[in-house]
Amino acid sequence: MCSAECDAIIQGYNENYKNGWEQTRYIAYVIAATNSDKIKSPKDLLSFTWEIEEEKEIITKEERLKREQEMLDWLAKQK
């Protein structure tokens, strides 16, 4: 089995895991929403870590050049 196949299997497992939790959350939402007016969406009831958007790191041109040089230095040491 190659790494691409392993990656596809892991991604499939993660998707099944997420889908299971999404279904569970939706069922809980339907039950809770019938008894409360405060819950407007399933995300109000439960939020997941994979739904949180990460802040994108913005780097300056100087920082990018510094990182490139560090990578080139590291690659030169590997030879």
Phi, psi of 44 (to 5 degrees): -70, -30
Q: Quick one: 39 exposed, middle or buried, by C-beta within 10 A (0-12, 13-18, 19+)?
A: middle
pTM above 0.95? no
Tens digit of pLDDT at every position of the chain (79 positions): 788 888 899 999 999 999 999 999 999 999 998 988 888 899 888 888 888 887 888 889 999 999 999 999 998 988 7
Q: Structural domain boundaries of the chain? A: 3-78
